[in-house]
Structure 1
Amino acid sequence: MALKSLGAEHYKAIGLLAVPKRGGKSYDEIAAECGVHVNTLYNWRKDPLFEREYKREIVRASADKLPEIFAAIPQHIIKDGNAALFKTLLQANDMLTDRVEVNAEIKSDKDIDAIKAKLARYRGVSTTEQE
């Protein structure tokens, strides 16, 4: 059953889980601190609302480190030749998108006739035989 809203125990769990390496705590320890069974904690991790807030907390906690991270990325790209990291860097700087635009505008019927004639020449068929 999906969560409709998050309570204090959810936010406490999110805060503890979002710490790097969970602050050295196990899932059992985090569940105990939140006053829930460990299976409940695992179920929360599967819930879209909980996961969305968990990811937001990670971003909030690491936002002040982002300039250092982005400054270190080029050295790693050059040293490791990591194409995926390079792509991520370009996307983060709006220098690369997955969007592809194709303009398939046909200017006139003459263009189509010219294409048909060229195709016929390639096939070795005269344009009069084709029609």
Structure 2
Amino acid sequence: MAKRLSEKQIAAIELLARPKMDGKTYAQIAEEVGISERQLRNWRNDDYFNDQLKRKIVANTIDRLPEVMQAVPDIIINEGNAAMLRTLLQAHGMLTEKLEVDNKGNNDADTSAIKAEIERMRKAKAETKDS
């Protein structure tokens, strides 16, 4: 069953999702919603609540995304911001995460064991066909 938010949780998300929380503290938001600050902090430790907050923040900012993406190249060029370049390349699917594989130990034994298991399976398959 899908988890649902209470009206107070929805109201809290609305306030928390505003830029810089409209300058309000957790205590002020909690008071406005009609809960304790402790309750608000408990909600902030809940994964489902945080997922819904993130969704609201995205919904609030999605309209400005084209402006942001348009500004990125100027920031990269004018400030030499390598991190921003990486972000832009990732956004365009031109850069993937680098994965490093550490190959330690004696792999001959592992390979031999795998080859032996493959051979055992081949023989078992051949025996079942012959039966």
Q: TM-score, normalised by structure 1?
A: 0.69
Q: Percent identity?
A: 47
Letter in 2 for 1:11: I
Instruction: Out of 62-71 and 82-91, give the one that drifted further.
Output: 82-91
1:105-116, aligned counterparts within 5 Å? Answer: none
Equivalent in the alignment of 2:97: 98
Q: Which amino acid aligns with 1:37?
A: S
Worse overlay, 83-92 or 61-70: 83-92
Structure 1 unaligned spans of 5+: 101-131
User: What is the match of residue 70 of structure 1?
Assistant: 69
Report how many residues are paired: 97
**Alpha-carbon displacement from aligned partner over 1:38-59 (angstroms, at most 9, x marks no partner):** 0111111111101111111110
**Aligned counterparts of 1:99 and 1:43: Cα–Cα separation in 2:** 36
Which one-letter code corresponds to 2:18 in the other structure?
Answer: V
In 2: Cα distance, 1:90 partner to 1:60 partner: 23
- Structure 1: which amino acid aligns with 2:32? E
CA distance in 2, matches of 1:81, 1:99: 22
- 1:31 matched to which residue of 2? 30
Q: Which has the larger radius of gyration?
A: 1
Corresponding residue of 2:55: 56
Structure 1 SS opposite 2:97: coil
Q: Residue 98 of structure 1 aligns to a residue in which SS?
A: coil
Normalised by the length of structure 2, the TM-score is 0.69
Runs of 4+ in 1 over 3 A off after TM superposition: none
What is the alpha-carbon distance in structure 1 between the residues aligned to residue 68 and residue 79 of structure 2?
A: 16
Deviations for 1:6-35, whole angstroms, at most 9, x for unmatched residues? 111111101100100111211111101111
Q: Name stretches of at least 5 consecutive residues in structure 2 with no aligned partner.
A: 100-131
